[in-house]
């Protein structure tokens, strides 16, 4: 998502809770201009003591390696707390980047929030 007036990248961030997971819902584009917002969102939640995070990329239209780096950084931030950072995404354009970089092996990726709930039930 790009602001048609300024041609600047836009990233909206919302939050919801799904069981013991905090879901960080993204809408827009994640690049060098907006990735800081995602980094801050993850950091804030960890500082609040939330160690089970799910980043929902279903409404993300663009993601590059800057965004991937923020997600990997989030994972490292959670590791000392024995936390989890799951990805929710059914967008093939975005999933392809995870496959190319091999990050699909690092993150647990769910096709939707429902799938995250079902997996939790089986934990």
Partner 1 sequence: MACSAGGVIRLDMPSSPRYVSLARLVVSAVARGLDFSEESIDDLKIVVSEICTNAIIHCEPRREEQRIQLICCPRPGALTVEVRDSGQGFDPSCVGTFEEGLAAGKGFGIPLVRSLVDEFELESDHGKGTVVRVTKYDRLPESPPGPR
Which parts of this chain interact with partner 1 (CB under 8 A)? 2, 6-9, 29, 31-33, 62, 64-66, 68-69, 72-73, 76, 93, 96-97, 100-103, 106
Which residue in 113, 98, 97 sits closest to 24, CA to CA?
A: 113
Smallest distance, partner 1 to C-beta of residue 100, A: 6
C-beta atoms surrounding 65 within 10 Å: 14
Closest CB to partner 1 among 25 and 29? 29
Smallest distance, partner 1 to C-beta of residue 106, A: 7
Give the single-character DSSP code of 107: S
Closest CB to partner 1 among 46 and 116? 46
Smallest distance, partner 1 to C-beta of residue 25, A: 21
C-alpha distances in Å from residue 2, one per residue of 26, 66, 74, 81, 93: 14, 17, 25, 36, 17
């Amino acid at each position: 998502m790009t602001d048609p007036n300024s041609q600047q990248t836009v990233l909206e961030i919302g939050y919801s809770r799904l069981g013991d997971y905090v879901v960080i819902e993204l809408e827009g584009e994640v690049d060098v201009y907006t990735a800081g917002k995602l980094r801050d969102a993850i950091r804030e939640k960890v500082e609040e003591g939330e160690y089970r995070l799910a980043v929902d990329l279903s409404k993300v239209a663009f993601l590059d390696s800057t965004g991937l780096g923020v997600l990997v950084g989030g994972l490292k931030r959670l590791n000392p707390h024995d936390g989890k950072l799951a990805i929710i995404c059914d967008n093939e354009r975005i999933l392809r980047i995870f496959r190319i970089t091999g990050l699909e092996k690092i993150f647990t990726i769910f096709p939707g929030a429902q799938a995250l709930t079902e997996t939790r039930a089986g934990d």
